[in-house]
Amino acid sequence: MLVSEEGLLRSGFSSSELQIVKNNLESYGGTLDEAILDLARRFRTLTWIIAACTIIFLLLVLFSTGIKIIAGGVAFLFGIAIMMIGQPPVLCYKSWRYWRANRP
């Protein structure tokens, strides 16, 4: 997949978001293609983790006691919040959307 700056700007990236990705590439190396694909993968992974946490929480609601439901819900919320802090969710979503529209 050939990623161009113009294509990213047309797909919804702002110039400041694009600059963040380019600064990351300057610091750590790689290509724009690799960065966009990596961000898209992070979004897909986050989506799967949130879905799994939701299913487990629903199982807790159905088959567990009140205190375990509260503890599990708080634990899942903290876990998901930490994962979202560790990655830029907006950039990941826009990268995933761009990748999905332009995949080979």
Write the pLDDT tens digit of every residue in 14-31: 999 999 999 999 999 999
Question: Over the stretch 58-84, which tens digit does the pLDDT of each residue have?
Answer: 999 999 999 999 999 999 999 999 999
Task: Give the count of domains, the chain.
Answer: 1
* pLDDT above 70 as % of the chain: 99
Cα-Cα-Cα-Cα dihedral sign, residues 44, 50, 54, 60: positive
pLDDT at 3: 86
pLDDT at 102: 87
pLDDT at 65: 94
CB distance 40 to 96 below 8 Å = yes
CA distance 41 to 84: 14
Q: Which domain holds residue 21?
A: 5-102
pLDDT at 63: 96
